[in-house]
Chains A and B, each alone.
Chain A
Amino acid sequence: MQFPESNNASISLRELQKQFWSSCRKRENGIYSMIRSKSDFSPEQRMDVYRTTARSAHVSALMDSFPVCRAILGDDYFKLLAKSYFMQTPSLSVDMNLYGESFPGHIAMLIGQRKELKELVYIVDLARLEWEYQKAYFAPNAAVFDVDRFQDKCRRLGDRAVLTLQSGISCMSSCFRVFEIWEMHRQDKLEQQSIVSNSRQYICIYNKDYQPLVEKVNAGVYELLIQIQQNKSLAEIANIFQGRHDLNAALTTAINNRWITS
């Protein structure tokens, strides 16, 4: 392929990087005239190496972060979804582990568009669980709950005392049995299970002794964690809990598991 000779000497570094990037992301061809070439390996083919490498790196990152979704969808179909996500969503962080936060949302959007996904509505919640699990893997290690510090805080602030969640902890609820599906796939047990849960399922994902853990919790504990996340004071939480859940039991569970800090 022949290209018109351009005045390459005037191309600034910034312009070159802009052209390179557009070629990588949008297959624009402005960069081709700047690339030296031998006839058997054209500028377009050379840029294809970079396009493929970048795409594979992002797709691999998603495959690592969502292994259960990948197992359910199959490698080929998962890669198709991951590629469509990559085309729409560039990585905005130097940390590759942070790539894929909006992937569950991307799947949710596709469920509305692709009939082959209609039966797999639960996979959106499963993807959310997998994302939180990955976040917990890299989260700071949980500190021990300091009872003295907590009591001191309560003495000083009374009803206005606010608890905080450990970083890396998250909770979610689902009307599907995502916990069981997730656990079954992690243990490589592929039994047929009922997908829909009889009652809403509450799940807590956290980090303990350098490892991420996933646990089913009751509605009270879930409510407590959500309210703490929203910076509600203990008094406000007590109000919300009145007659609905046992606050003491929920607090005990949360403190014993190091889900909240003092």
Chain B
Amino acid sequence: MRSFYASVASNTLGVGVGLRSPHVARILKDLPSLDWFELLADNHIVAGGWARQQAIEIAQHYPVTMHCVGMSIGSCDPINFDYLKKVKQLAVEVQTRLLSDHLCWTTWNSQNSHDLLPLPFTEEALAHVVDRIVRIQDYLGSRIAIENVSSYLTYKHSTIEEVEFVNSVAQQADCLILFDINNLYVNHVNNGQQTYRYLNNIDITRVAELHLAGFENKEQYVLDAHNDTVHDNVWALYEYFLRRKIDVPTLIEWDHNIPEFEVLYAEAMKACQIKQQLLREREPVYAVS
């Protein structure tokens, strides 16, 4: 499918961070050296004011991607085309490199949970989600990337393994995958998800972006709170994935208890260092006679 957004492929992006309002003035003033920013689309698709203007000004200096939470891809409610219209308008305006949302449902009977609710992994859900993504992509005129979500439960009647479900959705809908490695780890702790099996089997040809974030340990489970630095176990999984595919843009997410920009920046630099180290390992060593 042709994309009408920015012509530069997203895999030319390196490491970015999620744009958060408290950092915008500082970023626009200092223009820190970062490859790109991810815009939380729902914060910026408003009619006007500073919230929209922030996105436009950042896009004048950096490549941006747009990450949505409102498509409700797995919902049984009708697709919200008014919402998609606003997303599309901003996507064109900021020339987004990638547009993404989550493999979940958020609405029921026109009511919005504002949370990413888990889908069962069944043939019915697969067909339902594929059909909706195809229609969403047709409307947007571009492929989207779907993200694996963190969850606190799985359903007894799921018949498909999560990674197979994600791959099948991407292949059948011809969309991309936004692979959140922190979500994989959170699901490992909460639901016994097998991490390395997932990492080995995810369709790398369709992975267009990686997410890294911090979680909160609640003893009984871990909460995907995006309120801390990336956990060492998640960095290890990240490195493992990069050994399979290295030219994927990586994003650091942070949504609660937002720290100084330097903290996010340091996390991004850590991701850069891991990538560079792996690239160095790949360089051939020539014997000098």
Contacts and interface: CB of A to CB of B under 8 A. Distances in A.
Contacts of B120: 11, 13, 16
A49 B50 CA distance: 33
A195 interface: no
A34 B117 contact: no
Interface string A95-123: 11101000000000000000000000000
B75 interface: yes
B112 A94 contact: yes
B153 A47 contact: yes
Interface in B21-76: 42, 46-51, 53, 70, 72, 74-76
Interface string A136-153: 111111000000000000
Interface residues of B, number: 44
Interface string B137-177: 00000000000000011111100000000000000000000
Contact of B48 (A38, A40, A138): A138
B196 interface: no
A80 interface: no
Given A8-B155, A34-B156, A36-B154, A96 B114 contact: yes
A21 interface: yes
Contacts of A136: 49
A164 B223 CA distance: 49
B108 interface: yes
B227 interface: no
Given A8-B157, A35-B156, A167-B47, A40 B220 contact: yes
A259 to B, nearest CB: 15
B70 A94 contact: yes
Contacts of B76: 13-14, 17
B123 to A, nearest CB: 10
A18 B105 CA distance: 12
B89 interface: no
A7 to B, nearest CB: 9
B229 interface: no
B113 A24 contact: yes
Contacts of B190: 41
A140 B153 contact: no
Interface stretch (A66-74, A204-212, A234-242): A204-212
Interface string A1-33: 000000011011110111011001000000001
A116 B269 CA distance: 52
Contact of A35 (B105, B107, B154): B154
A84 interface: no
Contact of B115 (A35, A50, A212): A50
Contact of B117 (A50, A91, A94, A97): A50
Contacts of B107: 94
Contacts of A49: 152, 221, 223
B115 A54 contact: yes
Contacts of B49: 136-141, 168, 207, 210-212
B162 to A, nearest CB: 13
Contacts of A94: 42, 70, 72, 80, 83, 107, 112
Given A43-B153, A137-B50, A21 B111 contact: yes
A65 to B, nearest CB: 13
Nearest to A211: B50
Contacts of A13: 74, 76, 119-120, 122, 124-125, 128
B112 A93 contact: yes
Interface in A173-216: 207, 210-212
B47 A139 contact: yes
28 contacts: A8-B155, A9-B157, A13-B74, A13-B128, A16-B155, A21-B108, A21-B111, A21-B113, A24-B113, A33-B156, A35-B154, A35-B156, A41-B220, A49-B152, A49-B221, A54-B114, A57-B114, A58-B114, A90-B112, A92-B110, A93-B112, A94-B72, A94-B107, A99-B114, A139-B47, A140-B48, A207-B49, A210-B49
8 tightest A-B CB contacts, nearest first: A8-B157, A140-B48, A138-B46, A94-B70, A90-B111, A21-B108, A46-B153, A210-B50
Given A17-B117, A18-B108, A210-B53, 13 more contacts: A13-B124, A13-B125, A17-B105, A20-B117, A21-B109, A24-B113, A35-B156, A49-B152, A54-B115, A92-B110, A94-B72, A210-B50, A212-B49
